[in-house]
Amino acid sequence: MAMQIQSGADKVARVCDLVKHGLSVLGVIVSLGLVMWGVKEISRAAPGAITALAGLLRDWRIGEIVLALGNVFFYGLYRLERSGKKRAIARKGAYQKRAEAGDPQRTTSGLTENGNTPKPERIRRTV
């Protein structure tokens, strides 16, 4: 029975991930469509404006574009890796509490139960 519940939960999680990915792709497609629609409207209203946009794109160096795309890509990888770590730390939180409770000499990483770095406590000054 417990295995069936876990299996059902896994299926729901996979479906939710698939829906989230699908919505992300749809968002990108809609965004690109809006940009193209805007460029079309600009070119209808002021043909000289589209020439200025083409000049701007021509003046961009390919290295700058690759660097910007690389930054976006690696930032996405960083966020993905960090969210995975947080998820793993959150899953082992209950086990960690039990292990620490049984051994007073055990040290910890100092992270919160969900994998975040704890915020320092503020010292309140009384006058």
Q: Which pLDDT belongs to residue 60?
A: 72
Residue 104 covered by a domain: no
103: left (phi over 0), alpha (psi -120 to 50) or beta: beta
More confident residue, 97 or 16: 16
Which residues constitute the domain of residue 84? 61-99
Q: Which pLDDT belongs to residue 73?
A: 94
More confident residue, 29 or 122: 29
Q: How confident is the model at residue 43 (pLDDT cuts 50, 70, 90)?
A: confident
More confident residue, 88 or 104: 88
118: left (phi over 0), alpha (psi -120 to 50) or beta: beta
Residue 120 covered by a domain: no
111: left (phi over 0), alpha (psi -120 to 50) or beta: beta
Residue 25 covered by a domain: yes
DSSP-derived 3-state class of residue 121: coil
Residue 31 covered by a domain: yes
Residue 108 covered by a domain: no
Residue 111 covered by a domain: no
Q: Which residue shows structure tokens 């055990």?
A: 106
Q: Which pLDDT belongs to residue 10?
A: 80
Residues 50 and 92 occupy one common structural domain: no
> How many beta carbons lie within 10 A of that of residue 112, not counting itself?
14
Q: Which pLDDT belongs to residue 72?
A: 93
d(CA 89, CA 101): 17
Looking at the chain, how many residues does it have?
127
- Tally of domains in the chain: 2
Residues 53 and 66 occupy one common structural domain: no
DSSP-derived 3-state class of residue 107: coil
Q: How confident is the model at residue 74 (pLDDT cuts 50, 70, 90)?
A: very high
pLDDT of residue 98 exceeding 80: no
Q: Which pLDDT belongs to residue 76?
A: 92
Q: How confident is the model at residue 75 (pLDDT cuts 50, 70, 90)?
A: very high
Q: Tell me the pTM.
A: 0.37
pLDDT of residue 3 exceeding 60: no
d(CA 121, CA 42): 53
Residue 81 covered by a domain: yes
